[in-house]
Chain A
């Protein structure tokens, strides 16, 4: 239990780091994003899970060849310093935009549901300060936060009880009533919800038992997939197809089905508790972005944390036109999509340049 180890992450840390990074705001809009599939979306998360497994395998394989390096270093080693660094800059920038996207999405949601009479500037500031506090403890502190987040937020599932009671299980059938384009469309929109497992490429060097890392990460991925599955399944049971397509944040409305004599709007409680999930997701990304900045500037300082946080704050607060922001967020999403396929490409280069590169 020594606190200063070279590789501080044990199996549980890996499981929950993977799991928590995947569950964020995405899951709230998942049923809507998948609505092109109609009622058949119920079991689509399982397919997503399969894709996640397939894409994670090259990541782990590549990392296992470079046990002490994260993706930023691997980029530099395999592609040369200059190309590697410029790719790293793209990754860091897109992560910053991605983070700003997640946070501003969530904060806007908070504003519409819980803080209707305030602007979000000051809440965002406090949120970011708290985020800095979590991240400044290092990856292990983040992992611990992820574990406790999981156990604090899992009781929310209980509030689905009423939706299940009122829902109709026959909505689930038929199982695969969609065509290829519809599926691709849903994949493009909905896969965003389960992003997050790619962070393992960056904290892999810190994992204690690297041989079992794949297994642990898979457990984490499948916990998240099952949570997504429960969400889509219950949504399909509870809503009509039109509602699935048109209701914003339909998952929140599932909570509203609840009937308690002392609390009327469980969704407000749920969405504010969601801050834990958001914090655990963005903490991982912020830590990664900081590591990226470290490797780009070839030195480690705490100030990188502050620089990134200030950038995020400015992105959220500055009066940039909403369209431009939307386009930026979309772009950053695509960069993260590419990041998932990136290790395959790198693996090929690794095989080609095996003899020249010293791992």
Chain B
């Protein structure tokens, strides 16, 4: 102590003595505040408390190391602290010392807190700079023509990808935080004047009611706010392509982004739109129409082909002409199973191949593909377990199930096919038709954000049919589609 007193300059000694009592009071308060923050961030090892002496006395920096980049800290905090302290005060924002919840949430949001001991002042500066990946092209929805960029897992990047395409102040984005445990940030995008206000209210109401603790991807939110969560059909469109999101935004739909998830969801959507790829608008109308027809009828074919085989062979052999029947019977003359078991067997093998293929490392996957395709396929036929005509049918229907541009729809067709297979196994063609009637009724009764799912067909909207299974030349497609219920026609 004596040594310290000796070191002090006489000027500062006077000043110190005068304000000694006040200082003590402030110091204890500072200690208490820091202690309480420490208590709130107990056992979080990457919360850093760093005391730095500056012109305005000691400043304690508090930040979460993993959410902040070192370079950013250097530029935003350390250099100004050492040289131009007034800069810090210009960009920072004052936080109330007693508001512990705000302090912790700012800290967890990647902000840096600066505690000026002498002034007993707590300020925060946004230094959130967690590392993100760069914009790459999409692997799940790739197209030949058109822009190749895809969303990333960063909310800011995704919104910037949209905003750089629509340079319009009517494009609004409203941020919300959901999930009591993850505190995930979501953003609702829409274009004012084009969007239907009633739809927007419904959607916000539904998001408000969501009471789910944690969100790891936007598809969880999607399932929570869908009209019929029990249905096998996805009722909202989902995409990672900025151009297709922008297309729907301009049509009057509402788009939801979530931080840390790549895809965005679009609502409302119709059944037909599940078969529309954004590339259709870049292709010539003839090609686009052909492809759309292929996808649409492909969906019905993929759920019908193998059940047809079952009902023809189990219940109605007379439906086939003599020569064809002979051919079929010959190919399965050594097969010990009834057609239903035979079909289920090979369909399950295909599912296994698909599932194994998607989980395996890419290099091993190829080998397994060859083993699965050639060895199992050929060997099973030669061993007399299944007929080779069935292999053709199953392979075709497996290929057809990949036609819908939305992967969720392709999964749906996989599931619905089993309903058809089982009903064909039970009652033949009649069972198949019953299942088909169920499918139609179910689709007719589905809603997407309160709008009928089958919209351009039933309830019909003649104008929208120009952009349905057949895509008319672009000059015809100016209006907003009926399902958006847009106030602007």
Where the two chains meet, the residues of A that have a C-beta atom closer than 8 Å to any C-beta of B are 1, 3, 10, 12, 110, 114-115, 117-118, 122-123, 126-127, 130, 133-134, 137, 141, 144-145, 147-148, 152, 261-265, 268-269, 272-273, 275-276, 279
Contacts and interface: CB of A to CB of B under 8 A. Distances in A.
Interface string B461-472: 000000000000
A316 B11 CA distance: 110
Contacts of A10: 459
Contacts of B454: 144
Contacts of A147: 458
A272 B432 CA distance: 9
A206 to B, nearest CB: 15
Given A123-B430, A148-B458, A115 B445 contact: no
B132 to A, nearest CB: 41
B444 A127 contact: no
A298 to B, nearest CB: 28
Contacts of B441: 130, 133-134, 137, 141, 145
Given A12-B460, A114-B315, A114-B428, A262 B321 contact: yes
Contacts of A133: 438, 441-442
Given A130-B441, A141-B445, A273 B318 contact: no
Contacts of B391: none
A115 B427 contact: yes
Nearest to B325: A264
A231 to B, nearest CB: 21
A41 B441 CA distance: 37
A148 B427 contact: no
A263 B426 CA distance: 22
Contacts of A145: 440-441, 444
B433 interface: yes
Nearest to A279: B437
Interface in B434-455: 434, 437-438, 440-442, 444-445, 447, 450-452, 454-455
A272 B429 contact: yes
Contacts of A276: 433, 437
B320 interface: yes
A1 B320 contact: no
Contacts of A273: 433
B387 to A, nearest CB: 17
B459 A130 contact: no
B429 A262 contact: no
B144 interface: no
Contacts of B324: 262
B316 interface: yes
B179 interface: no
Given A1-B452, A3-B447, A145-B441, A264 B320 contact: yes
A158 to B, nearest CB: 17
A147 B429 CA distance: 22
A115 B437 contact: no
B445 A137 contact: yes
A118 B427 contact: yes
A274 B426 CA distance: 18
B319 interface: yes
A-B pairs with the 7 shortest C-beta distances?
A272-B429, A272-B433, A144-B444, A264-B321, A272-B430, A275-B433, A265-B319
Nearest to A141: B445
Interface in B417-434: 426-434
Contacts of A265: 316, 318-319
Contacts of A141: 441, 444-445
Given A1-B459, A141-B445, A126 B434 contact: yes
Given A3-B452, A264-B318, A114 B430 contact: yes
B109 interface: no
29 contacts: A1-B455, A1-B459, A1-B482, A1-B485, A3-B447, A110-B430, A114-B316, A114-B429, A117-B315, A118-B427, A130-B434, A133-B441, A141-B445, A144-B444, A144-B458, A145-B440, A148-B444, A148-B458, A262-B321, A262-B324, A264-B319, A268-B318, A268-B319, A269-B429, A272-B428, A272-B432, A272-B433, A275-B437, A276-B433
Given A1-B455, A126-B427, A148-B458, 5 more contacts: A114-B316, A123-B434, A130-B438, A152-B440, A268-B319
Contacts of B444: 137, 141, 144-145, 148
Contacts of A115: 315, 427-428, 430
Contact of B430 (A1, A137, A148, A275): A275
